[in-house]
Structure 1
Amino acid sequence: MSTPQPTPVTHLLYLHGFRSSPQSAKARILAQHMASHQPDVHWWCPQLPPSPREAMALLLQGSADWPRESMAVVGSSLGGFYATWVAEQTGCKAVLLNPAVNPARDLEKYIGEQTCWQDPQERFFFQPEFVQELRDLACASLTRPERYLAVIAKGDELLDWRESHARYAGAQLRLLEGSDHGITDFDQQLPAVMAFLGLN
């Protein structure tokens, strides 16, 4: 039997990580690739508000009229945690790049004023109540693991790759022997990401 071809993605959402922005290296690489090779695909990479609850409300509102069967989400780090929530809400495909598994635990120590990696002049306040908002967004086991591709770097200096590997064990996994949290060789991962999205 031939493998059914994936439905090509028509709408693609990119979610940046904590203290990051649409100006992150991966977001820019993907935006440039989509503009050059997939100009017909609707691309959206919003600046996410610090509040997880507000961030998810923004995403649901902004994608409310997107076709669920041909939309997809890509998320990095905290954005990977958010992308999991979006995929579970909408039934869409998701690509997770070094996804955070338990951000409520990991970000508790960051309560207070923070700066953006790409522009230290950009400041925001991570409120104590945001930790509970992250807990509220935690998904149980994945309903359809085959909808997920997780790209996980063993060289991640911020998150334990074993935790991500266990969380997404039933998904398609791309385990990188080295690399780092930012996946600085992301351009080399693009072909696999595009193939999973049916955009190659």
Structure 2
Amino acid sequence: MTGVIVYLHGFKSSPHSFKAQLIAQTLEQNGGDWRYICPQLPLSPQESVDLVSNAIRDCQRDRLTIIGSSLGGYYAHWLAEQHACKAVLLNPVIDPWQIKILDDIPDRSDLRVCEWLDFRERYEGELKAIRVKNITNPSRYLLLAAKGDELLDWRLMQSHYHGAHQVIVDGGDHGLSDFGLYLEKVLSFCGIGKQYAG
């Protein structure tokens, strides 16, 4: 029975990000019959979730896990609720229209800030349309949150995913540059390797 892992990259990222590539390489070496889906997401949130929904329409729910990083984590949460599957959330955005850290950067010439603010203004309605206030089944979720995230508040993630499996990293950063240290745990939660024990 083939299992499926979907990876959703963050804002302005791609399937070529180091986390996406690390998962791909590990599955190629040790994933057995697991299939890996890692699409380039459109800018539009609605188009992004529609793209993934179509890709996983025929997948068996108990053999499907969606891994999402940052904004991809926001999408993964909505998709996991819609498709009743597992989700792994890597420093996920909780409320994309309320990220204060980027708002508070005084230099509006910073390309990262400008791109985010333009995206949020353009797609706020689509972002709010796929917001999930509560998780219906916490056991289907694994949160990996870094206290050292320079863009998002890990405490908000911890609170939002109360009751879910959680790994809170001391230090770290938004991109989870030490993701390799946690990959075995993530894949175990997906159903690969040793059984996940929390």
Indicate the TM-score class for this superposition, using the shorter chain for normalisation. Answer: 0.7 to 0.9
Higher relative contact order (CA 8 A, sep 6+): 1
In the TM superposition, 1:135-150 aligns within 5 A as 135-150=128-143
In the TM superposition, 1:3-152 aligns within 5 A as 10-106=3-99, 126=119, 128-152=121-145
Deviation at 1:26, TM superposition (A): 0.6
Deviation at 1:43, TM superposition (A): 0.5
Secondary structure of residue in 2 paired with 1:74: strand
Kindly report the root-mean-square deviation, in angstroms, between the aligned alpha carbons of the 2 structures.
2.1
Secondary structure of residue in 1 paired with 2:188: helix
Residue 183 (structure 2) aligned to one of 167, 177, 190: 190
- Give the corresponding residue for 1:153: 146
Q: Once the two structures are aligned, what percentage of the paired residues are identical?
A: 43
CA contact (8 A) 1:104 1:132 kept: no
- Give the corresponding residue for 2:196: none
Deviation at 1:56, TM superposition (A): 0.8
For structure 2, the 5+ residue unaligned runs are 104-109, 113-117, 194-198
CA contact (8 A) 2:9 2:72 kept: yes
Determine which structure has the larger helix proportion and give its number: 2
Following TM superposition, where does structure 1 have runs of at least 4 consecutive aligned residues deviating by more than 4 angstroms? none
- Give the corresponding residue for 1:169: 162
Q: Partners of 1:85 and 1:104 in 2: how far apart?
A: 16
Please give the TM-score of this superposition, normalised by the length of structure 1.
0.85
Give aligned pairs, total: 181
